A and B are shown apart, each in its own frame.
Chain A
Amino acid sequence: MSGRDLLGLVVAGAAGLAVLILTPIYFELDTVLNLTVYMIMAVLALSLALVWGFGGILCFGQSAFFGLGAYTYAIAIINMGESTAPLLLSILVPALFAAALGYFIFYGRISDVYLGVITLTVTLILFNSINSTAGPEFHIGAARLGGFNGIPGIPPLNWPLQKDKPVDLQGMFYLSTASLIVVYFGLRALLASRFGHIIVGIRENERRAELLGYDPRAYKLATFVIGAALAGYAGCLFANWGAFVSPTIFGLAQSAQIIIWVIVGGRGALIGPILGCIGIQWLTAALGANAPTGAGGFAAVLGNAPLVLGAILIAFVLLVPKGLAPTLADLTGQRMRAR
């Protein structure tokens, strides 16, 4: 590891810890709540950063695993009442689902384009299926699926195996932030390992990796499953955060958002997608809140969050195609060399 990498790690760790410790002390509860969801979504962004940015697998349906995790947690906790097993299930179910789906995709040698189409279709099928479960006959145990109304009043996580010690709102902030930090460093370690180098090699040239004796199908499947497990875990946290989950979690908008976070933050980076995710969510919230009703002209344009986000996305694709983090790294690298 080079000195620059080490410095980056220390900075990232210190910044993470600072946010973790200082935020609840200095900010109001509603800010803490907003930050909590940013952290959760950043975990989701990291899951796609791994699968797409490093594994080279453009999954348009990362929200399928996110939604499955959220729904699994909701259904399991309503039935079980204690959150340890539901939490684990919210990771396990999406992972198994991804293993089955990925097996057919990768071992069937389906091309990259169709992989995008299939994953997108799967998440839309889930959206439509769950969306049409409004009647009382659709229930799993005690949990009614609720169709487009979703499942409200999801019981919160509790301390492991201690049903009477629920995690409060501030606790959720700590848990989400700590999860983000752990996932970030966990992925750094994974990518520094033999496995990590091999998946990057496969992304660079699948044929060459195969001719050297690596089975790309197995490595891609493993990457896909790890990504799904992380997305599922983020989904569990999300269901906790709002105590609510609805089918829009599987929708096209949600799927597209995750991809935008990674494009803006940069493929082939981990810190980039975190910043891209938090930055864009903050911007969306700010734009939405600052648009006065009935405003015309410039204010109306600025208040139109999808329009501004679309412009940002186009600007990034055209002007900063590598994304935020790799471009900044290139610039600082050049400056250091110029000295």
Chain B
Amino acid sequence: MTALLLETRGLGMRFGGVQAVRDVDFRLAERELRCLIGPNGAGKSTFFKLLTGQLQPTSGEVLLRGENISRQPPHQIARRGIGIKTQAPTVFEGLSVRENLWLSAARVARGRQAGAIVEDMLERVGVGEVAGRIVGELAHGQRQWVELGVVLATDPDLVLLDEPAAGMTDKEVLRTADLVREINKTKALIVVEHDMQFIRMIAGKVTVFNQGAVLVEDNVEAILNNPTVRDVYLGKQAAA
């Protein structure tokens, strides 16, 4: 059995009268790829915010390799090896692609080494041609990749991707799926995605969220054939 990387115990988040995340026990192994699905408002993005320290849980805890990180500020959690690509690209809009990647690489390396990481990342996420362009001026798909490169340049152990394929063309979705599989060779990932085609492409185990809690956890095919899941989530998608 592979070692446990991330664990949440009874994790909960309450905003006033709304229980956005309730009593989530979640376990992720080193270098595991996990997909997170569920209807809008199921608590997926809130769950990510709890993992990265952007929100502090109102109950329960988050453990990274056995250490409780749930009260740590976001920058310290990032330094412990959790990187996140948010739903709407969070990038340095006014800076060039290269500067974006450099700021990320400079956190873990100095001088020429940081430069080498930047060049490597430009090629890996395929934005070399627009390296000198201001990120705010790029197309949506390209900005998604820039953000992915920015996240990967710090070399995290766990990568959180919030809807990486949203708003992409079919061709871009294929490339993103390839990229996710490649990242998974060395790192653990949790991917939030609505696109079931994309989830089938990257495979992996699927956790279904509903009303802030974990509904079921299984492999892709079993999830697709699960009547409860069809009822709360996939049925709605099929009807839409």
Contacts and interface: CB of A to CB of B under 8 A. Distances in A.
Interface of A: 194, 197-198, 200-201, 204-205, 207-216
Interface string B77-119: 0110001101000111111000100111011001000000000
Nearest to A204: B92
Contacts of A208: 90-92, 150
A214 B75 CA distance: 6
A272 to B, nearest CB: 17
A205 B74 CA distance: 14
Interface in B138-187: 150, 154
B154 A213 contact: yes
Contact of A212 (B94, B95, B99, B150): B150
B52 interface: yes
B73 interface: yes
Contacts of B79: 213
B73 A200 contact: no
Instruction: Give the contact-size bracket for chain B.
Output: 20 to 34
Contacts of A211: 52, 54, 74-75, 78, 83-84, 86, 90
A197 B92 CA distance: 11
B90 A214 contact: no
Those 4 A-B pairs whose CB atoms lie nearest each other, nearest first: A213-B78, A204-B92, A213-B79, A201-B103
Contacts, number: 60
B73 A212 contact: no
Contacts of A207: 54, 90
Contact of B106 (A197, A210, A215, A216): A197
A213 B103 contact: no
A213 to B, nearest CB: 4
A323 B110 CA distance: 34
B106 A205 contact: no
Contacts of A210: 73-75, 78
A309 B233 CA distance: 62
A212 B107 contact: yes
B73 A215 contact: yes
Given A197-B99, A197-B106, A212 B93 contact: no
Contact of B92 (A205, A213, A215, A216): A205
Contacts of A194: 106, 110
Contacts of B150: 208, 212
Contacts of B104: 212
Contacts of B110: 194
A209 B92 CA distance: 9
Contacts of A205: 90-93
A46 to B, nearest CB: 21
Contacts of A201: 92, 95, 99, 103
Given A201-B95, A204-B93, A212-B103, 20 more contacts: A197-B99, A197-B106, A198-B103, A201-B92, A204-B92, A205-B92, A208-B150, A209-B103, A210-B74, A210-B78, A211-B52, A211-B84, A212-B75, A212-B78, A212-B83, A213-B75, A213-B76, A214-B107, A215-B75, A216-B75
Contacts of B91: 205, 208
A222 to B, nearest CB: 15
Contacts of B83: 211-212
B62 to A, nearest CB: 15
A227 to B, nearest CB: 21
Nearest to A205: B92
B90 A200 contact: no
Contacts of A197: 99, 102-103, 106
Interface in B178-227: none
Contacts of B86: 211
A209 B74 CA distance: 10
Nearest to B147: A208
Nearest to A214: B75
B50 to A, nearest CB: 14
B161 to A, nearest CB: 13
Contacts of A216: 75
Nearest to B79: A213
A222 B92 CA distance: 21
